Chains A and B, each alone.
Chain A
Amino acid sequence: MIRNAWADLRQYPSAIIGLLIVSLLVVMAIYALATISYSEAIRLWRGGEDIWQDYPRTASPEWTNFFRAQKLPSTVLLDSRQGQGSKVVEPRGALTEITIEFPFNFQADDFPQELAIFFYATFTQKQPHVEMTWLTPDGREIRIGEYSPRARDSYRFEGDSRLARRLRNVPAQQALFAKPDVEPLAPLKGVYTLRLDALVFEGNGDLDAKFIAYGKVSGLAGTDHRRRDLMVAILWGTPIALAFGLLAALGTTVTTMFIAAFGVWFGGLVDAAIQRITEIVLILPVLPILIMVGTFYSRSIWVILGVVILLSIFGSAIKSYRAIFLQVKESPYIEAARAYGAGNLRIIGRYLTPRVIPLLIPQLVVLIPSYVFLEASLAVLGLGDPVLPTWGKVIDDAFRNGALFNGYYYWVLQPSALLIVTGLGFAMVGFALDRVFNPRLRGL
């Protein structure tokens, strides 16, 4: 049967496309699992500035520049500890003079998002003193300010009110990159240099620095409002979505089938009880109950999964299975099985349930995306898993931060596109399977 089904399935181009999509998603899921471990994914996604300080906020994906006439800048990161830039150490008696220069080529048509220097100083008593100077491509020299960094310190250009006054209240990331005396402000392209002249007052003192000009594009997937690389969520959302969808769909359809079979086979009270329970469950509002569970008890995706399965095993599908089983129950081959002495469980498992498998498989495949979307729906309601990165949570974050208002379209579009692609892939396969397994639909 399976081999025939496969041969039939190949007749449908939509099924081929659907299968391709599904296998691509599976590959993506495996890649995600292989590169980032479960605990690592959680750590990354929950991480704050300590993990993501090198990334800009709400930056578009880098490939969007391809479609832009005005290219947005990427992040420039220069770290003297990594040997980037140049660092010259000159002892001057008791003091040491350290000069760090960070030259970089700036070719974008827009200004960076923020500028920051992170200092890594070694001293026991007296903090080093740093003088910061900005050199533009046209040879101007702009004094930024002086600073005495602690052991681990950061200097953000925007937060310096004296610098702001000196730059006539134009934000530093614009004033420092702008062509002089041109209105409106336009960035000047060329090689900029940030020079740090530091005095270290102790014999074994040292100073290193990391300069970051945060860009407006970052990585393949962009970043969110907490500087997190969306790639983590995009990648890790895949195995979670697939696992949730598959487990929920399997859990509900298979148990529903067995419950219906038990009811029909044993009849009488068992059947009546199952029927009544089905009617009660039909009235129970699933989503509000899920919301209640999410609000009161646990938002863990696995708890929600369990509740979803519990609430749907007595779903309305029982009725359609029951109708089929009632017919099958009277078939001669069931009687034959009974005659040779087959037990109840054997008849249910071997003779009754296989008859609805053709109905069940397409349904199962079509159900998968609806559960994937259910997870996204809960996340959009703010009931997403608190620790795991999922596509739905990215959409939720985007909405809470006004992504559509502020024009961060990539933030919503990427997870949405993945959701719809997943939905389409499974639905296409499911629809084709439905036609393959239900000859009545063939040719229609």
Chain B
Amino acid sequence: MAEASLPSRSNLAATLTRRPGWTTTLRVLRYSVVRLVALFATVVVGVYLTILIANMGGYVDEIKKAQIREGISLSVSMDPANRALTPAQRNELIEGLVQVEVRRLGLDRPFLLRSFASLTDALTLNLGRTNYLTSDSGSKLVRLVILERLPPTLLLFATSNLFLFFFSIFVALRLSRNYGNLADRMVIALAPTSAAPGWFYGIFLILIFSALLGWLPFGGMVDTPPPADRLQYAWSVLRHMILPVAAITLSAIFLTIYNWRTFFLIYSSEDYVDMAKAKGLPGRIVENRYILRPTLPTIITNFALLVIGLWTGAIILETVFNWPGLGRLLYQAIGLFDTPIIVGSTVIYAYLLAITVFVLDFTYALVDPRVRVGEGGAK
């Protein structure tokens, strides 16, 4: 949290006197476009690296070739027309068909060329077909399988992140106003509990509320069978969400509050805050204009970092709670050795992270005076 760059405050006065106008909009636009291009380049490199890692040593190709051979030998041996062939002839036939298929899929081309082909495929989300897993609608297209799993992930993590973010800032402001009281010291003492990730607390929550007390379901997203009534369906989803959201919150809340509180405290010891207080401004205005406003870029950065961290932390939490999201899909894919899904979801994760970074940059451009007045912005 402390790693976010602090905004320089020297430009603030200059910004505050200027009215936002066309030049500002243009500047923000230009900044965003440049960032978008830069980020796209970053995604291309990132995805390419992912593909390289996934294909390292041609391992994936070996699997693919083995699958082709297996499929062809099966179809050849099942075909009654081939029954009259001698084993040698049959092998020859299989070998020929395998060669054709390998050439059709381009597996005989040099790896470098193929890797660029896979890169374009990955970037256009043309992720191929799964080996074993199917989507609930029965499709074997990796893209559809992943798209189907995305909404539950988004639902779970949007809910918990937004709650965590606003709640912790609200509490942190409260604590920083009267620090040193019992609540404040409790938060300091509890901050180390965030050393454990969400899934870890999930285990205990399941243990207490599902296994021992039996109040809440063990996992999943809705009851089986899912209720037909919309309202009941929503209620069922809500009940299933309580524990995972609680686990995420529990694993991050104290540290987040602690960090924000310390951060606000540092900022509220600035001279201009003292000045505002001396002027007799009410506490709310001091908070909003003199503490929150200058720290806004940092707050946004931290929010984005939180989101990035939780995207990837989701995999195990979803597994522990049997939540039918992207993370659990990845877990199932590992178990079944379903390569296209593993590579595909890595690509999706890369995209999600890039989008997060872009949204961060864009909002940053909107709130950071340095970008708006054209200093330190787009280069």
Contact = CB atoms under 8 A, between A and B. Distances in A.
B189 A285 contact: no
Given A320-B2, A444-B266, A416 B203 contact: yes
Given A14-B189, A283-B357, A427 B195 contact: yes
A404 B189 CA distance: 30
Interface stretch (A53-61, A234-242, A379-387): A379-387
Interface stretch (B43-51, B90-98, B157-165, B288-296): B43-51
Contacts of B349: 285, 288
Nearest to A18: B192
A441 B262 contact: yes
Contacts of A431: 191-192
B259 to A, nearest CB: 11
Contacts of B46: 280, 283-284
B316 A377 contact: yes
B337 interface: yes
B200 to A, nearest CB: 7
Contact of B308 (A282, A293, A381): A282
Interface string A273-301: 00010011011111111011111110000
- B contacts with A: majority SS: helix
B53 interface: yes
A412 to B, nearest CB: 6
Contacts of A373: 195-197, 200
Interface residues of B, number: 63
A284 B49 contact: yes
Given A285-B353, A427-B192, A292 B342 contact: yes
B50 A284 contact: yes
Given A292-B342, A323-B5, A287 B357 contact: no
B330 A288 contact: yes
A47 to B, nearest CB: 25
B54 A296 contact: yes
Interface in A416-433: 416, 419-420, 423-424, 426-428, 430-431
Q: Is the interface of A mostly helix, strand, loop or mixed?
A: helix
Nearest to A316: B3
Contacts of B38: 279
Nearest to A373: B197
A284 B308 CA distance: 11
A295 B338 CA distance: 10
A287 B211 contact: no
A247 interface: no
B42 A289 contact: no
B115 interface: no
Contact of A283 (B43, B206, B313): B43
B314 to A, nearest CB: 9
Contacts of A14: 189, 192
A317 B3 contact: yes
A317 B312 CA distance: 18
B316 A380 contact: yes
Residue in A291, A292, A424, A441 with the greatest tally of chain B CB atoms within 10 Å: A292
B5 A320 contact: yes
B142 interface: no
Interface in B264-287: 265-266
B346 interface: yes
Measured as residues with beta carbon below 8 angstroms from the partner, the interface class of chain A is 35 or more
A344 B145 CA distance: 53
A285 B203 CA distance: 24
Interface string B142-158: 00000000000000000
Given A283-B353, A380-B319, A404 B211 contact: yes
A84 to B, nearest CB: 40
Given A285-B311, A288-B346, A381-B334, A405 B211 contact: yes
Interface string A309-332: 000000011011001000000000
B334 A382 contact: yes
Contacts of A376: 200
B233 interface: no
Contact of B315 (A280, A287, A323, A423): A287
Contact of B196 (A283, A292, A404, A420): A420
B122 to A, nearest CB: 13
A293 B56 CA distance: 9
Contacts of B59: 296-297
Nearest to A277: B45
A64 interface: no
Given A381-B331, A404-B206, A416-B203, A285 B3 contact: no
A137 B129 CA distance: 68
A366 B195 CA distance: 8
A280 B49 contact: yes
Nearest to B176: A444
Interface string B200-228: 10011011001100000010000000000
A319 B5 contact: yes
Centre residue among A287, A288, A317, A430 by max chain B CB count within 10 A? A288
Contacts of A296: 54, 56, 59-60, 339
Nearest to A276: B42
A302 interface: no
11 contacts: A280-B45, A284-B46, A288-B312, A291-B334, A373-B200, A377-B197, A377-B316, A380-B316, A395-B203, A404-B211, A444-B266
For the complex of A and B, the 4 pairs showing the least CB-CB separation, nearest first, are: A423-B195, A427-B192, A285-B349, A320-B3
Given A292-B342, A381-B334, A412-B207, 17 more contacts: A14-B189, A279-B38, A280-B49, A283-B43, A284-B353, A285-B349, A288-B345, A292-B50, A292-B54, A296-B59, A316-B305, A320-B3, A373-B197, A377-B197, A381-B315, A405-B211, A424-B192
Interface of A: 14, 18, 276, 279-280, 282-289, 291-297, 316-317, 319-320, 323, 366, 369-370, 373, 376-377, 380-383, 395, 399, 404-405, 407, 409, 412, 416, 419-420, 423-424, 426-428, 430-431, 440-441, 444
